[in-house]
Amino acid sequence: MHSTGKGISASRSTPNWLKTTALELDVFQSKKYYIDAELRDTACVSDIREALASAKSEDTHKYTELVQILNPQNKSHVDVVAQQETLLKFLSRSVAFLDAAHHEELLIRILGMKIWDHPPNVVYALLELIISLATTRGKYLNCCLEMLIFNLLSQPHILNKKMREAPSWVHSALHKISYLVPPAPSQILYILVKRMPNIYNKGHGLVTYVDASLKLENSSIGKVVGDRILRVIMLRLLDLDVEIERDDIPQDDSTLGLFDMELEVACPVQSLNQNYSKVSELLDKLMVLSFEHLESCQNAGRLDEVFEILFDLFENLILTTCKPKFPQFLLFYACSLDPEDCGVKFASKLLDIFLSSNKDRVTRTNAVDYLASYLSRGKFLHASFVASILKRLVDECADYCRTYNVGASSGHLVFYSGCQAIMYVLCFRMRSILDVPRFQLLLTPLESVLSHKLNPLKECNPYVVSEFLKQAKAGGLFFVSEAFIFGDLPESETSRAFGGFFSFYPCLFKISNSFISPNFIYWSMVKRTHDEDEAFAEVIVYGDTDNDEDYDDDPVLDNDVKRMSITPKQSFMRDTWRLSKMPSRIRPSTSPSQSLLFKCFRNMCFEFSS
Amino acid sequence: MEGLKMADTELMVYIHPSKCGNEFSAVCRELSSLLFQYDETLDGVLLAFDFTMKSKGAKVLAGLNPYFGVKVESKLLLFNPKPNSRVEGKIVKISPESVHVIVLGFSAAIITDVDIREEFKYTMRNGEGCFVSTSHKRHVLKVGTMLRLQVQSFDEEVMHIAGSLLPVDTGCVKWLEKQSEEALRSVDLEDHKRRKIT
């Protein structure tokens, strides 16, 4: 059998379905007469079945011809391509006649075909055959799924125009098989897990893998095995996270305070080590894929469902891991996409873990650590919500003060971590809390908690305590003794145990940072209560409380440039200048009992004078 | 529908020591891990279970893993369609060469064209493929129809049923039941006539 330029020359051995194909091409081109398509197809199908049956007989030449069509060497010839397409199309209607014992070679050729090496029409016919084979013959289900997933994961980095839709065809084939064979998703998951690139593979393969897996998660297959797909991906993110170190953070520089470190640290993460930069780049791409996946879940209306899965993973994997740097931002981003639902749920669930006496103390302290960092950094969180969570923390600490067991074997770590969390959040949110008197009222027990004989101010992180006390004094939160301010606070053993607040530390990568930064409060954006010039030291402006415009709209992306001082922003300067022109000048009271009353009085004076 | 059976069993479930105090949920979890999988010991696919703890005490398993065994009396719903039995499922796809059916929501059944009796011919109606009986025009098999089929074989690993529509008592369940009702009614009528004559 040989092929000519236009068709295939007929020979005695050419099967009918091949002759018919050539005739069809001529017919299509000439458009002269009509062929009964159904009769033609039926004839072709019976020819194929006859050829398959011939494999069991002595004369196997028909079967051998079939196998030759799928010879990988022939792929580029136009006629061969047409033959392949036709063969695959009619084979899909005869899968019941395929027998592993007699048609091994044909099956090997079919299942070994790489879709990226063939034109779209052949690929389409091949996928139809695979779907037919997987759904008709139970014993071929696994190898068909393996073939599809292998092709999906071996997708070239750059696809030509014609093949750009091919990955979606493969996904579609997987969905069709899952629809017709309900146990298929479990098999797909098993194969996916088996085919995950190993941890030493830092190339593009892992990106393709995660991309394909996330698309499967956001589909009908994900309804069955989505949670396990996300778990596999999260585990890999954690593995990569561990390989990245904060090389530029001076770990032992005690001259730098905790908050100053954030201003000092270069971000995005850079490293002199070549291997780390490869890992950083990879992790950056994977984080971006994950963020985009969350966006598509939101568009599909299933973000809350995915959030529940993510939170379970967070509780089981991230909360128990020692200070991961990046995977927790998946939850941060999910919360920023849906602050009313996911945003609130995240804080509430963390709070529940902290308040739950069934959990071990390490989990509880980690949970409140994340909660504090989240409440401080989430730009999308309203001050009223933050205040309500702070109230519950304060009440819990106050309860502890009333009922604690002096000789507790675990120490008072949970209590101190709660106090530290409250102070940390107030370092970021002091102004917005003080601006609304009812918020401040919610925190009334805080004063007694901090001055309790358990002495949390001594046991908590000295930088946090120092910053908190400065702001509390300037803001008039409550009476603060001079002895606590500006002292050279040594780090106690307990405070060293907390390790610092790096839960949502602003140290992301270049591209993924662009997703997070619009919703992230950087320390340099925070308007502290003592952020005033000398001339206006005695004036506090009451601006809008829940207004996001209070914060700098220009997110800090490059800390080298934004090594900012703490001078107030321009709008604030304008306000203070205007108000300072007024005849009355008011000094902040340091009397504790009058602090709330004093604020109300001051408010009234401003309204009166303006 | 054949192939379903209820089994009363006595099981010994071994539970990790951390689950001590919460044995009920631990046993639930263990039995749930067997759901929708073929188990050789149980001789079927476990579909549902209900259990009660038989005794208050438990025996710790000797060895490196100190699991403790809890005796449980359970009722298990098992599915194991034997060859030549009848099962019912919903048609999800029809093509000229095959009919795809889902049985009990988890098992895929396939009937190829060689196993469909001559009575049924493939045709297109309203843009959808269906099989219509040549002898009874109302007997139509299309997507969404509940189908009764004969089991030829059951692949336990993937829970795949190879079915057949060759026997006359297979086909659309609704139509078959209607036929059997009419047959019963005509038999009653015959009996009544005979009695009247006598």
Q: Mean of the pLDDT values across residues A123-143?
A: 93
The string of DSSP letters for A344-373 reads HHHHHHHHHHHH-TTS-HHHHHHHHHHHHH
d(CA B38, CA B160): 11
Residue B179 lies in a domain: yes
Tell me the per-residue pLDDT of A147-163, one tens digit each, with 9 for 90 and over: 999 999 998 888 888 88
Residue B197 lies in a domain: no
CB contact under 8 A, B97 and A94: yes
Q: Mean of the pLDDT values across residues B84-108?
A: 93
CB contact under 8 A, B36 and A183: yes
- The residue from B41, B57, B79 where one domain ends is B79
Terminal Cα distance for chain B, rounded = 40
Interface-testing mutation among B18, B34, B97, with chain A (most A C-beta atoms within 10 A)? B97
Contact A287, A512 (CB under 8 A): yes
Band (pLDDT 50/70/90 cuts) for residue A212 is very high
Secondary structure element (H or E) that encloses residue A556, with its range: none
Residue B198 lies in a domain: no
Locate A375 and state its tokens. Answer: 């409440």
Nearest to A183 among B95, B158, B162 (CB): B158
Q: What pLDDT is attached to residue A533?
A: 43
A285 pLDDT more than 60: yes
Nearest to A179 among B92, B114, B162 (CB): B92
Tell whether B114 and B164 lie within a shared domain: yes
Band (pLDDT 50/70/90 cuts) for residue A259 is low
Tell whether B69 and B105 lie within a shared domain: no
Secondary structure element (H or E) that encloses residue B52, with its range: strand B44-53
- The residue from B61, B79, B97 where one domain ends is B79
Q: For the range A103-106, what are the long-range contacts, defined as Cβ-Cβ under 8 Å and sequence gap of 24 or more? A: A103/A52, A103/A55, A103/A63, A105/A67, A106/A52, A106/A63, A106/A66, A106/A67, A106/A70
Alpha-carbon distance B169 to nearest alpha carbon in chain A (angstroms): 23
Q: Closest Cα partner for B111 from B141, B144, B79, B156?
A: B141
Tell me the per-residue pLDDT of A502-520, one tens digit each, with 9 for 90 and over: 578 776 777 888 898 899 8
Nearest to B93 among A94, A180, A187 (CB): A180
Residues of B in contact with A139 (CB under 8 A): 155, 157-158
Q: Mean of the pLDDT values across residues A219-236?
A: 93
Q: What pLDDT is attached to residue A310?
A: 95
Band (pLDDT 50/70/90 cuts) for residue A484 is low
Q: Compute the 3-state secondary structure of chain A and give helix, strand, coil in percent, each to the nearest 5.
A: 65, 0, 35
d(CA B74, CA A563): 68
B10 vs A: CB within 8 A: no
Tell me the per-residue pLDDT of A526-564, one tens digit each, with 9 for 90 and over: 888 776 543 333 333 333 334 333 333 333 334 433 333
d(CA A364, CA A414): 7
CB contact under 8 A, B158 and A136: no
CB contact under 8 A, B162 and A179: no
Q: Mean of the pLDDT values across residues A11-38?
A: 51
DSSP for residue A436: S
Q: What pLDDT is attached to residue A605?
A: 37
Tell whether B92 and B176 lie within a shared domain: yes
Tell me the per-residue pLDDT of B17-73, one tens digit each, with 9 for 90 and over: 888 878 889 999 999 999 998 999 989 999 999 998 877 777 777 777 788 888 899
The residue of chain A with its CA nearest to that of B123 is: A38
> In this structure, what CATH number is given to the domain that contains residue B159?
2.40.50.140
Residue B190 lies in a domain: no
Band (pLDDT 50/70/90 cuts) for residue A572 is very low
Instruction: Give the A:B interface size as CB pairs under 8 Å.
Output: 52
Tell me the per-residue pLDDT of A397-426, one tens digit each, with 9 for 90 and over: 999 988 877 666 667 888 999 999 999 999
Q: Closest Cα partner for B48 from B35, B33, B30?
A: B35
Host domain of residue B74: 4-79
CB contact under 8 A, A182 and B106: yes
d(CA A321, CA A315): 10
Residue B194 lies in a domain: no
Tell whether B65 and B90 lie within a shared domain: no
- Of the listed ranges A89-98, A548-557, B128-137, the least confidently predicted one is A548-557
Strand boundaries in A95-170, DSSP class E: none
Alpha-carbon distance A146 to nearest alpha carbon in chain B (angstroms): 15
Tell whether B116 and B175 lie within a shared domain: yes
Nearest to B155 among A96, A138, A180 (CB): A138
Residue A328: φ, ψ to 5°: -65, -20
Q: What pLDDT is attached to residue A172?
A: 95
Instruction: Show which of residues 26-45 on chain B sit within 8 Å of chain A, judged by CB atoms.
Output: 36
Q: What is the CA radius of gyration of chain B?
A: 24
Q: How far is CA B98 from the centre of its chain?
A: 20
CB contact under 8 A, A181 and B108: yes
Tell whether B138 and B69 lie within a shared domain: no
* Higher pLDDT pick, A42 / A143: A143
Residue B38 lies in a domain: yes
Tell whether B126 and B53 lie within a shared domain: no
Predicted ipTM of the assembly: 0.88
Residue with tokens 């020692």: A322
* Higher pLDDT pick, A182 / A252: A182
- Could you give the residue ranges of the DSSP H alpha helices within A488-537? 493-498, 510-516
Q: What pLDDT is attached to residue A289?
A: 94
Interface-testing mutation among B110, B114, B115, with chain A (most A C-beta atoms within 10 A)? B110
Residue B192 lies in a domain: no
Tell whether B38 and B113 lie within a shared domain: no
Alpha-carbon distance A302 to nearest alpha carbon in chain B (angstroms): 24
d(CA A597, CA A471): 19
A309 pLDDT more than 90: yes
B156 vs A: CB within 8 A: no
Average pLDDT, chain B: 90
Tell me the per-residue pLDDT of A47-63, one tens digit each, with 9 for 90 and over: 888 888 888 887 788 88
d(CA A182, CA A221): 10
B93 vs A: CB within 8 A: yes
- The residue from B33, B59, B79 where one domain ends is B79
B197 vs A: CB within 8 A: no
The residue of chain B with its CA nearest to that of A96 is: B112
Alpha-carbon distance B183 to nearest alpha carbon in chain A (angstroms): 35
The residue of chain A with its CA nearest to that of B155 is: A138
Q: What pLDDT is attached to residue A481?
A: 58
pLDDT > 90: percent of chain A: 34
A494 pLDDT more than 50: yes
Q: What pLDDT is attached to residue A138?
A: 87
Can you tell me whether residue B11 is helix, strand or coil? strand
Tell me the per-residue pLDDT of A451-467, one tens digit each, with 9 for 90 and over: 888 888 888 888 888 88
CB contact under 8 A, A181 and B98: no
Tell me the per-residue pLDDT of B158-173, one tens digit each, with 9 for 90 and over: 899 999 999 999 999 9
Residues of B in contact with A141 (CB under 8 A): 158, 160
The residue of chain B with its CA nearest to that of A45 is: B97
d(CA A278, CA A495): 35
pLDDT > 70: percent of chain A: 69
Tell me the per-residue pLDDT of A94-121, one tens digit each, with 9 for 90 and over: 888 888 888 888 899 899 999 998 889 9
Band (pLDDT 50/70/90 cuts) for residue A14 is low
d(CA B88, CA B76): 21
d(CA B149, CA B88): 6
Q: How many domains does chain B have?
A: 2
Residue B196 lies in a domain: no
d(CA A536, CA A170): 67
A584 pLDDT more than 90: no
Locate A349 and state its tokens. Answer: 């669930």
CB contact under 8 A, A139 and B97: no
Nearest to A138 among B93, B114, B160 (CB): B160
Contact A496, A420 (CB under 8 A): no
A450 pLDDT more than 80: yes
The string of DSSP letters for B73-107 reads EEEEEEE-PPTT-EEEEEEEEEETTEEEEEETTTE
Taking any CB pair shorter than 8 Å as contact, residues of chain A touching chain B are 45, 93-96, 132, 135-136, 138-139, 141-142, 179-183, 187
Terminal Cα distance for chain A, rounded = 100
Band (pLDDT 50/70/90 cuts) for residue A495 is low
Q: Find all residues with CB under 8 Å of A315, minimum gap 6, and list them.
A: A349, A353
CB contact under 8 A, A180 and B106: no
Tell whether B69 and B90 lie within a shared domain: no
Tell whether B118 and B139 lie within a shared domain: yes
A2 pLDDT more than 50: no
Alpha-carbon distance B126 to nearest alpha carbon in chain A (angstroms): 18
Q: What pLDDT is attached to residue A449?
A: 87
> In this structure, what CATH number is given to the domain that contains residue B29?
3.30.1490.120
Tell whether B57 and B99 lie within a shared domain: no
Residues of B in contact with A94 (CB under 8 A): 97
| Count of beta carbons in the 10 Å neighbourhood of residue A579 | 18
Tell me the per-residue pLDDT of A351-401, one tens digit each, with 9 for 90 and over: 999 999 888 888 999 999 999 999 999 999 999 999 999 999 999 999 998
The residue of chain B with its CA nearest to that of A141 is: B158
Q: A509 exposed, middle or buried (CB, 10 Å; 0-12, 13-18, 19+)?
A: buried
Band (pLDDT 50/70/90 cuts) for residue A600 is very low
Tell whether B107 and B20 lie within a shared domain: no
Average pLDDT, chain A: 76
Q: What pLDDT is attached to residue A407?
A: 65
